[in-house]
Structure 1
C-alpha cells in the first residue's frame, strides 16, 4: 500500500516478520537506527514490525527497513504475505461464490487457463498467488481487483532465500540467475 507524501516519495505500509521480539534495549536501538516509523509487536503469534516508511519505491522502503532491523541483531524473515490466497479468499476479493471460482479453476466455466495452485500435489487446501490470479480475473472476467505490487512478491522471496543461502551449494549460480 502507498500514499503520496511528496513529489518523488511515497508512504509505504508493510509488515516484516522477525525472528524474535526485540528487547527494550533493542527497541531503543531500532528507533535510533531509523525505525521510528515502525510499531513492534505480535501478530498471529509472530513477532512483527509494522512500517509506514517514506521512500522513493517500495523496494527502497523494504530494503532500508530490513537493514535497520538487522543492524541491531534481529533478522527479518519475510513479509506478511498478502499474495497467497485460497479459493475462499479469491471468491471474497472477486465478489463471487467459492463454487463459482472453483469452476473457473477446473475449466468448467470461463475461458480456462486459470493460474495453477502453488501446492498442486497437496491434499486439502490449495493456495494460489494473488499476483497471478488478479491479472487473470481482470483479463478474462473484466473485474477490476486490487493488484499485488510485484516488488512485494520479489522482496518476500528474497528475504526467504536469504535464510537458506548458507545451506545451498553454489548459491552464486542462483544469485546470478536472479540477476540475469
Structure 2
C-alpha cells in the first residue's frame, strides 16, 4: 500500500467549517500539521498518481480556496534516516561519505547551519528509499519512488480548481459581450486598408462585473437566463 502525503495550502485546520467539510466529504484522508505545513495523507493499493489526482480534485472541490501544491518533500537528515531503518547514525554517515556500502548515495538537496559544528545535510526520503531498496538495505513498501513523486507532482499541476473551470467556460469560442458596441471604419490608403475599432469601455467592464458576480454566486441559471452571457 502506498502512502502519499500531499502538501495543501489555503486550509485552516482550526476552523470549525473546515473541520466539518473534512469530516463530511474528505474523511478518507488523514490531515495533519507538521512544522507549519498542512498535509493530507492518503493510502492506496492502486495507482498512486491517479489516487493523488482524485484526492486533489476532492480537496479543491470540498474546500474553497484550498490548493494541493505537491507531494510533501519529506526531507530527512542522517539521524532521521538511521531512525527510520533501524541502524546507527554512524552507519548512515559512512554510507553518505562512501566509506562503507555500495556507494553512490544520493546527494543532499540542501543544508543548514554551519560554523564550527558543520552544516546539517538534508535528503529527500524518496531518493534515499530508492537507494536503500536498490541495494536491499531496506524495503519500505509504502514509500513512493523519486520517479513516482515526479509523476504525481506533474499530474497535480494539471488539476483544475473551480475558478479554472469557470474561466475555461468563459474562454470557449469568441468572447460574446452583449451591449458592447463597436464601430469600424475602413481607412483607405494606397495598397492597404486598416480597421479601427472603437469599444464602449463602460459596457465591457459592467459585463465583466456581472460575470464575476455570477461566478462567485455559482448561479448557473442567472448566466443562462441573462442575454448578456449568450
Same fold (TM over 0.5): yes
Q: In structure 1, how many angstroms separate the alpha carbons of the residues matched to 2:33 and 2:124?
A: 25
Q: Which region of structure 1 is more displaced relative to structure 2, 96-105 or 113-122?
A: 113-122
Structure 2 unmatched ranges of 5 or more: 159-230
* Counterpart position of 1:137: 132
Query: In structure 2, how many angstroms separate the alpha carbons of the residues matched to 1:118 and 1:96?
Result: 22
Deviations 1:52-105 (A, max 9, x none): 5x67422111101111222333111233444x3211122223322212221221
Aligned equivalents of 1:56, 1:110: Cα separation in 2: 33
Structure with bigger gyration radius = 2
Q: What is the aligned partner in structure 2 of residue 91 from structure 1?
A: 82
State whether residues 30 and 68 of structure 1, in contact with CA within 8 Å, keep that contact through their aligned partners in structure 2.
no
Q: Alpha-carbon deviation of 1:42?
A: 3.8
User: How many angstroms does 1:143 deviate by?
Assistant: 2.4
Q: Does 1:61 align with 2:51?
A: yes
Unaligned runs of 5+ in 1: 3-11, 163-180
**Aligned residue-pair number:** 148
What is the DSSP-based 3-state SS (H/G/I as helix, E as strand, rest coil) of the residue aligned with 2:104? coil
Task: Report the TM-score, using the length of structure 1 for normalisation.
Answer: 0.60
Partner Cα distance (1:25, 1:121) in 2: 38
Q: Assess if the C-alpha contact under 8 Å between 2:6 and 2:70 holds in 1.
A: yes
Indicate how the Cα distance of structure 1 residues 55 and 27 shifts in structure 2: closer, same or farther if over 3 A, else same: farther
CA distance in 1, matches of 2:105, 2:73: 21
1:15-164 equivalent positions in 2, closer than 5 A = 15-19=5-9, 20-21=11-12, 24-25=16-17, 34-40=25-31, 42-51=33-42, 56-71=46-61, 72-82=64-74, 84-119=75-110, 123=114, 124-140=119-135, 142-147=136-141, 148-150=143-145, 153-154=149-150, 157-158=153-154
Contact 1:16 1:78 in 2 (8 A): yes
The TM-score with structure 2 as length reference comes to 0.49
CA-based RMSD of the aligned residues comes to: 3.6
Is the contact made by 1:17 and 1:49 (CA closer than 8 Å) also made in structure 2?
A: yes
